Structure 1
């Protein structure tokens, strides 16, 4: 144990007296019992008083080298904080500093307890003092007076303890037998450098197919893992993303998406009995970023996700492989973002799909394919990446990273299965009655970095590029008034918070959210000590002086793309109204909201407030002298995607544009109309950026190097 070194010391941490032997804390308010692992953590922090303790230190010294996820560590730290009544934002006991670790900052007092006498102590006393006279007459006479034989009591005691010991042994054997039957076994399936995604298992050929890329700028390719072998074969190559591979039920064919630029092809590979590719064909071309492909139960059609148009939600379509006829299968309402993941039940009677609605709500839909009716419609409190049916068709599995969840089709109830010491990204497929294939997850998905403006002639070496000394999931940054001072979203102890960082200083925590939120579109106003942003689709402001949060909108408004007015007295944002976006102006002083006009996705004013720029749903960016002016000037046609940015800086318009998973950066001179473009980000999901106040640098939100493996999950509780 970590706390073996304590001996007989009495230790007080802050206001708490620590009882290591009984694993509990006590203060004037009472006694708090701690789990052994939480006490081990506290003891190690005490031993390292005044030093930063990294997660690696904790793994080696508290978890004894066992492999656990970052979230498992954070959960134990949170339990200790809760027991101490500590506050992450205003820490009195445990301070968290990104990229450094945890620091115990409370006062520690160590007192030496009196030594408990041992047998040697008594022996030394016996050598110097006469032995005391001890009489046992009363005890013996007491037994005889009760008519009990002299040795019968000792026999009864021995008999009693024998029975007790046997009972404990029998119970322990039963308990550990039951526990072993319910223990989740997570076994590594693949461990290739980079990221593995979307595995699919076929019962007839026993093979597994999956997608893999080596680096953040690499392309996904399809790989085949042979049954009962460590042999892995690469099936695709080239400058395209190949993913969403699915076996046909026969095990002789597989389908996948081949994406190059904005175009996607549905591809089919045919195999012989030796699992060698015999032919390849392109079935259909379309435009989508949704990696969803699966076969019909009879292997005669392919199902995929697409849109009727840009104004329609994602729906499930089917294409007949022979005739190439296309049929729309699902019809989500316009207010929904649509269906993004689906799979047939093993018997082909039902189709399960995940439908993303507004307000970050996802519904699990089950369609009866014979009757055409919706047999089940239930809400999930988060957005799983995908789903899979259990092998018997009675359950639908998905994951929330730290919990394996399933929907029981017969009872129409949801159930959780805890995942110990492992973080999962998604459940890919069933591989038996008590087996699932899953993707492990990684915490450090995105980072922020500062880069030189690629259009300027200033050499990077002549610029002071801000270095970020932290390791975690960060995003949505913005500059403040100071030269090397930024504000951004960071994940701390598993929760998204807003933090502030200046070069050479420690990160300052600005929020103290106790539940997880989705924080995006953070914006700082140079004339105000206030932040603007979106939290779970609500517009909010954060006062940097007193750290008070003010919610501008309700979540039901489904607000989007907030921005400041030039004077900082008002806020623009868009909200959904009957399938369209309406521009709203909010005045901070009066707290009054005014609807300005329809069909506007975003509005921004230039720094001096001379012009207002309006982006509509067609991607047309117009410039007006003010909102009431009739005349407007078309500046450019730019993308309306939420994963790009556009900014007006002095006399230039900057914006990023996607080409599949690559992005270009554009610059337009607002007076002359001169245009420039550079190839910018490769094989990524977003290209959001902010312009430095001097225009020489950008803050960029980027994907990190992927690090995900495939694993088997085996557990008797998975048997449906």
Structure 2
């Protein structure tokens, strides 16, 4: 079966609306979301852009609130506040007045109507082609045709600054790679959160888009060979994960797919090709206490060569990319909690040419075509360039903080990246998966930001969480049957790694930007207890809320400290452990540096010479003790599981929490009949080309 988007046909009547419209004094480009008046232009947020497109489609006609919510937030329940906020943003962009409207009129209890004159606009060199989606099946004679909005065919360096879409397939595009020799994109895509990731290819010259995979597995990490005629990719299904090498044919898609040669049986993840096309780079899968290294696999012989074996306290090497001339290898390395570095190796000699601490978290990198710089991007909308000759980082300002995942540099100040809508996490309350009955009343949370780190307190009557919006990160409290109350506001690029509420709900503790804080639950300023160089981790309140436990690294070892708020005093408590929690009966659970859990007596001595078991992470929002059970969350492929181990006899039980969930923070309700977790949303996204102004100075 083949899924083809044909952009060769010119736009004709009946094939879809014009992409460029005049609206009163403005021109609006539906493809890019750009609103222009004279020489001034601005790009609307994705939801506001979609709202304006809907109004244009029904110009002069009332569009009901139900129609708007179904179109902008499909399959979601949204508040009136979210709708009003979107309308306000559109009015501000148009310079409109709700009391004396020239563009958008509100009809109380009915909806909204676009009252300005609307007409298709014509401009030199602005004509674009519309796609025709043709889905064919060998077993049927029927052919379905559906319009899809995609970008212009050209993928060369933009002639102006701004953001242009490379794809506009409904859903979410991730894990992209681009081959400049063939001008083809390959990416993974899903239409809804619970769909499997499937591989797609877009031809940049013709605009044609093909779907390549169709089965009930997830396909990701696809990379073009340097010549663009072969692909490597990963197929995962449940616990099974396999890498493949395949050819690519413009008409037939993937051909001659075969698994990678067997190696030593250790799980590793795909990184990139060597520039001579003979090998691929792999990174180790995470293992407790073992930093990840980089390996090179020869595709013809199956020989495996270890490239790096970092001796660090952090995660190790997590990105490896060769320069386009194949002479240098760039690596990203986690050296300890909160510290990462960029390393550049000379491949011919093995010489370390550059090693620099990264000024902020980054997850992706892409070489400049000439090898003069490296682009580095973070998940929260940050972009850096490292200039090799000058040995300096340059921070680049992106037009949207929800642009991330740089995967190609298309020239000076030109980057291929991914842009999403920002609503990628929501809180979800559900029955305890181990409970006997799945029937219960659970609260539903439909919040505008990306929510994380949920914490019940005060017998479950209070809920605390962080919410990430477009302009700021806020810590909020929600009491039973009340709206959320903001307790503290932080810069939008703040990095949160933990949040814990005292049992009575009167105090909060957490870690922001590598500093431990406490906060009165009534709100106010964060009170920081550590400096930015102490690297605290795993805060946890005592059962009576009188003390706060936390870990920090000293001389290469983890040490547990106890903070007493009433006395404002820190005291050293236990060496060699990454996390500690006291239980109401006087016992404690400690997690060592290999993620093994131990039951301790009141003197913090292990009850047994054997560990209780291993947890997936010592992160304080990933494990909890309730009753006589230790609960923790873990990933298996794209699935999230919750596991529990009996403190009495080490019985182990597990349940599936959700498919396609990438954030594993959870908290059990004090009544033990439910838990709250962090649901992964689809986060509508597209691949985009970002053009920035030249670097100054």
Please, what TM-score do these two structures have when normalized by structure 2?
A: 0.72
Cα distance, 1:360 vs structure 2: 2.7
Distance in 1 separating the partners of 2:186 and 2:636:
27
Is this contact kept in 2: 1:188–1:711, CA < 8 A? Answer: yes
Cα distance, 1:402 vs structure 2: 5.0
Deviations 1:456-483 (A, max 9, x none): 23453x43x2232421111101112154
Structure that is richer in strand per residue: 2
Cα distance, 1:217 vs structure 2: 2.7
Q: Residue 370 of structure 2: which of 371, 389, 392 is its match? A: 392
Distance in 1 separating the partners of 2:291 and 2:248:
35
Deviations 1:340-374 (A, max 9, x none): 22321111111222223335333232222223222
Distance in 2 separating the partners of 1:188 and 1:658:
32
Deviations 1:261-319 (A, max 9, x none): 45543321123575643311222568999864211121111112116964232222111
Distance in 1 separating the partners of 2:41 and 2:245:
54
Distance in 2 separating the partners of 1:194 and 1:246:
21
**Structure 2 equivalent of residue 101 of structure 1:** none
Q: Residue 339 of structure 1: which of 317, 320, 342 is its match? A: 317
Distance in 1 separating the partners of 2:456 and 2:334:
33
**Structure 2 equivalent of residue 497 of structure 1:** 474
Shift in CA distance, 493/685, structure 1 to aligned 2, threshold 3 Å: closer
Unaligned stretches of 5+ residues in structure 1:
5-34, 38-50, 67-179
Is this contact kept in 2: 1:467–1:503, CA < 8 A? Answer: no
Describe how 1:375-390 pairs up with structure 2 within 5 A.
375-390=353-368
**Structure 2 equivalent of residue 519 of structure 1:** 496
SS in 2 for 1:302: strand
**Structure 2 equivalent of residue 370 of structure 1:** 348
Q: Residue 421 of structure 2: which of 427, 442, 467 is its match? A: 442
Cα distance, 1:221 vs structure 2: 2.3
**Structure 1 equivalent of residue 227 of structure 2:** 250
Q: Which moved more, 1:483-492 or 1:344-353?
A: 483-492
Shift in CA distance, 692/553, structure 1 to aligned 2, threshold 3 Å: same
Describe how 1:222-261 pairs up with structure 2 within 5 A.
222-261=199-238
**Structure 1 equivalent of residue 666 of structure 2:** 689
State whether structure 2 residue 439 is matched by structure 1 residue 452. no
**Structure 2 equivalent of residue 641 of structure 1:** 617
Is this contact kept in 2: 1:638–1:657, CA < 8 A? Answer: no
Please, what TM-score do these two structures have when normalized by structure 1?
A: 0.70
Is this contact kept in 2: 1:384–1:426, CA < 8 A? Answer: no
Shift in CA distance, 427/289, structure 1 to aligned 2, threshold 3 Å: farther
Distance in 2 separating the partners of 1:517 and 1:565:
27
Deviations 1:517-546 (A, max 9, x none): 222322112246211222223222112246
Cα distance, 1:440 vs structure 2: 0.7
Structure that is richer in helix per residue: 1
**Structure 2 equivalent of residue 84 of structure 1:** none
Is this contact kept in 2: 1:201–1:430, CA < 8 A? Answer: no
Is this contact kept in 1: 2:547–2:565, CA < 8 A? Answer: yes
Query: Number of paired residues?
Result: 556
Q: Residue 625 of structure 1: which of 586, 601, 626 is its match? A: 601
Distance in 1 separating the partners of 2:608 and 2:558:
19
Q: Which moved more, 1:538-547 or 1:687-696?
A: 538-547
**Structure 2 equivalent of residue 162 of structure 1:** none
Q: Residue 540 of structure 1: which of 512, 517, 530 is its match? A: 517
SS in 1 for 2:176: strand
Q: Residue 60 of structure 1: which of 87, 90, 95 is its match? A: 90
Distance in 1 separating the partners of 2:643 and 2:470:
38
Cα distance, 1:673 vs structure 2: 5.6
Cα distance, 1:707 vs structure 2: 1.3
Cα distance, 1:489 vs structure 2: 0.9
Describe how 1:188-587 pairs up with structure 2 within 5 A.
188-262=165-239, 264-272=241-249, 276-284=253-261, 292-306=270-284, 310-399=288-377, 404-420=383-399, 423-431=402-410, 435-460=414-439, 462-463=440-441, 465-481=442-458, 483-492=460-469, 494-514=471-491, 516-527=493-504, 529-545=506-522, 547-587=524-564
Distance in 1 separating the partners of 2:84 and 2:270:
39
Unaligned stretches of 5+ residues in structure 2:
1-24, 26-39, 43-80, 97-156
Distance in 2 separating the partners of 1:258 and 1:295:
17
Distance in 1 separating the partners of 2:532 and 2:89:
40
Is this contact kept in 2: 1:217–1:684, CA < 8 A? Answer: no
Deviations 1:313-334 (A, max 9, x none): 2222111112222222234331
Distance in 2 separating the partners of 1:681 and 1:287:
28
**Structure 1 equivalent of residue 591 of structure 2:** 615
Shift in CA distance, 262/561, structure 1 to aligned 2, threshold 3 Å: farther
Describe how 1:6-45 pairs up with structure 2 within 5 A.
none
Describe how 1:693-704 pairs up with structure 2 within 5 A.
693-704=670-681
Distance in 2 separating the partners of 1:284 and 1:555:
46
Shift in CA distance, 428/564, structure 1 to aligned 2, threshold 3 Å: same
State whether structure 2 residue 626 is matched by structure 1 residue 596. no
Distance in 2 separating the partners of 1:431 and 1:289:
33
Output the aligned Cα RMSD. Answer: 3.4
Larger Rg: 1
Q: Which moved more, 1:279-288 or 1:555-564?
A: 279-288
